[in-house]
Amino acid sequence: MMADMPDFDVFQRTYARVDKEPTLTITVRGTINLNEPAFAALGKPEAVVLLYAREEAVIGLRSAARGAENAYSVGVLGKGGKSRTVAAREFCAWIGADLSAARRYPLTVGADGIGCVNLHGAVRIVTGSRSRRAAPDTPAR
């Protein structure tokens, strides 16, 4: 045992796995993931219609019934079942979304109930085991 204890500094965690604010993530696969607060803010819809204001670069999500015209089903993401996902690869291609890395944006819901994300606004590049692609000599999981 050491006689004198070192003078430790506390590592200040900069990324918490669970966001308390509503966020939307566009993944490298072209899926749109909603965290639990975002899903709740949209009214826990079974489907959404995806909207895009091209000039402002704003994505909109409007709640819809499953099977409604132009509606995308909202699925459960992961085993915990709190986050949700929308398979939106065609939509991402249509808007020209950059899928080189997963990007997380704050989601705001207007008085009209439409959830909005400004693609030119605040963004956090998401890194982690699921967002990294395997190196050519590394076997994929």
The model's pLDDT over 18-36, given as tens digits with 9 standing for 90+, comes to 568 999 999 999 999 999 9
Q: Which residues contact 5 (CB under 8 A, 6 or more apart)?
A: none
pLDDT tens-digit map of 86-118: 999 999 999 999 999 999 999 999 999 999 999
Residue 135 CB coordination number (10 Å): 8
Residue 80's pLDDT is 79
Residue 1 has pLDDT above 60, yes or no: no
Residue 17 has pLDDT above 60, yes or no: no
Amino acid in position 102: A
pTM of the model: 0.77
Dist CA 47 CA 66 (whole Å): 5
DSSP code at position 6: -
Strands 102-106 and 75-77: unpaired
Residue 14's pLDDT is 63
